[in-house]
Copies of this chain bind each other. A is one copy, B any other.
Amino acid sequence: MRISEAASRSGLKVDTIRYYEAEGLVPNVGRGADGQRRFSPENIDWLTLLYWLRETGMPMKVMQEFAALYAQGEETIQARKDILLDHSDLLAKRRDDLDRCADILTRKLEIYEEYLR
């Protein structure tokens, strides 16, 4: 699979994929005889996971650490699990923030309604 397809499947942009690869976030990307990147289904799964981790605010450095562990194989699964558990905590925190902000907006909008009447 070429980079454009990898982009449309993973959700990441073409430029972002190249950038991530350069930063060591995407292990084992092959190249064809023409020098172009070739992505395996496993690459795609990995990119998709990165997409979601980024989308929900995992910092670059953590992603790098996670990718380094992934590249080392199965004996790092415990460590990877810990990272994902930490990220789950972050998700919960973000959800609280969203809820809190939604409340604030609701109140603010009610006040605006008053003015408009």
Q: Which residues of A contact B (CB under 8 A)?
A: 49, 52-53, 55-56, 74, 77-78, 80-81, 84-85, 87-88, 91, 94-95, 97-98, 100-102, 104-105, 108-109, 112-113, 115-116
| Interface contacts beyond A52-B97, A81-B109: sample of 9 additional A-B pairs, CB < 8 Å, sorted by A | A52-B100, A52-B101, A56-B101, A81-B113, A81-B116, A87-B105, A88-B102, A88-B105, A94-B94
Q: 15 A-B pairs, CB-CB below 8 angstroms?
A: A49-B104, A49-B108, A52-B100, A52-B101, A55-B101, A56-B98, A74-B115, A77-B112, A84-B105, A84-B109, A85-B109, A87-B105, A88-B105, A91-B98, A91-B105
How many copies of this chain does one complex carry? 2
Look across to chain B and name the residue whose beta carbon is closest to the beta carbon of A74. B115
Q: Say whether chain A's binding surface is mostly helix, strand, loop, or mixed.
A: helix
